[in-house]
Structure 1
Amino acid sequence: MGNSALLVMDVQRDIVARFAEQDGGYLPRLARCVEVARGRNLPVIYVTVAFRAGYPEVSQRNRGFAAVAGTGRMTIGDPATEIHPDVAPRSEDVIVTKRRVSAFAGSDLDVVLRSRDIDTMILTGIATSGVVLSTLRQAADLDYRLTVLSDACLDADPEVHRVLLEKVFPRQAEVLTVEQWADAAA
């Protein structure tokens, strides 16, 4: 299995609020992932998206982030960017801030992983078609081993979520449920 780390990506107050009604069991399942990882002494790495005041890192050519910049939200220190309290980090956990969709883009994630000799990532987060997909693709190109926890990911479009988990992700990652993953190394 290599040296593994659990990545909890974009599980921030504002993002969770947009998905809260979609799956009421999501946060408890994610909390279970974090609990299992800590029980196995695996590092838990939280990835958040946040921007500097004035959004100097956001181009008007970037449709998604330009729209965010127009709201005045998701800046460093904004309560909307805080990690959801149901899966709050501990002092020993690492928090990485990114500036784009992939967990690697504009962050020091690769440095953190390599400095800890981590070669395997267990991916969770919101959204499946956003941070999970982008991170999986980039991580695969960087030769990381990957596992995606299917029910610890959410997407606004259930069909896109299904297609990614059943048809796209298995080409580059092992896809398991939270309980399958928890039972695998128990």
Structure 2
Amino acid sequence: MAIPLVSGRCALIIQDMQNDVVMDGGAFASSGAPAHCREQNAISNIAALAAHCRGCGIPVIHVWFVVEPGAPGLTLNAPLFLGIVEENAVVRGTWGAEPVVGLEPMSGDHIITKMRMSAWQGTPLQTILMAEGRDTVIVTGAWTNMSIEHTARTGADMGYRMIVPEDCCATMNADWHNASINYALQNVARVTKSADLIDCFE
């Protein structure tokens, strides 16, 4: 990445890294998501990036998809949302809705819950970023071609500089991941690797 990043302007999002989403035994395990998460080494890569960010004073924001039992209020207008109901996924208070081991919130982190793909929709994300004085957002987590892409697109439209370290993201398989990383995200975010990103902070 050619452009240095100013730590005081950055925030890190860890999105949807929950047991039902990316772990064996989770509601969506049959999708291939756990295997691709392992292939990407996403949990370890995100953990290392988050540790570095905390050390630099960069806010870490956990964004989780959480519904109440029966998913009241979840608009069932898309297959993804229907799947949440059909699989009884990410229900508050269950193992499936909890963050994966290794990416639990630390003291000082922010926690946001949502009921849409984008981290912006119906959440206080922008309020937190404004309060912290941040205009550069690093997006990590799952799934690359869904929540990550939605969040990056919306953030770009809202005037934020969006950064996506691709080895900190995962989805159902490499084809879907690569389609998003190599095409969809190229015009809305700076795509990079976590190690390269860490070297960019000033």
The bucket for the TM-score relative to the shorter chain is over 0.9
1:76-133 per-residue CA deviation (whole Å, 9 max, x = no partner) reads 2222111112111112100100111011122111111112221110010111011100
Q: Secondary structure at the match of 1:97?
A: strand
Distance 1:62-1:170 versus aligned 2 partners, 3 A rule: closer
Q: Which amino acid aligns with 2:44?
A: P
Aligned to 1:7, what secondary structure does the other structure show?
Answer: strand
> 2:34 is matched with which residue?
20
Of 1, 7, 27, the match for 2:13 = 7
Q: Does the 8 Å CA contact 2:166/2:191 hold for their aligned counterparts?
A: yes
CA contact (8 A) 2:43 2:103 kept: yes
State the one-letter code of the partner of 1:56: P
Distance in 2 (CA, whole Å) between partners of 1:4 and 1:140 is 14
Amino acid at match of 2:138: I
State the Cα distance separating 1:157 from its structure 2 match.
Answer: 3.0
Q: Deviations over 1:119-157 (max 9, x none)?
A: 110010111011100001110111001110010011213
TM-score, with length taken from structure 2:
0.85
Q: In structure 1, what is the Cα distance between the partners aligned to 2:80 and 2:179?
A: 22
> Which residue identity is paired with 1:113?
L
State how far apart, in whole Å, the 2-side matches of 1:71 and 1:175 are.
32
Give, as a single letter, the amino acid of the residue that structure 2 aligns with 1:102: S
Q: Equivalent of 1:143, from 138, 146, 159?
A: 159
- RCO higher in 1 or 2 (8 Å CA, sep ≥ 6)? 2
Shift of 1:72: 3.0
Aligned to 2:65: 49
Gaps of 5+ in 2: 24-28
- Deviating 4+ runs (over 6 angstroms): none
Q: Determine the C-alpha separation between the residues in 1 that align with 2:128 and 2:59.
A: 11
Query: Given residue 91 of structure 2, which amino acid in structure 1 is its aligned partner?
Result: T
Q: Normalization by structure 1: what TM-score?
A: 0.92
Partner of residue 149 from structure 2, selected from 130, 133, 138: 133
Q: Which moved more, 1:144-153 or 1:80-89?
A: 80-89
- Report which stretch shifted further, 156-165 or 10-19: 156-165
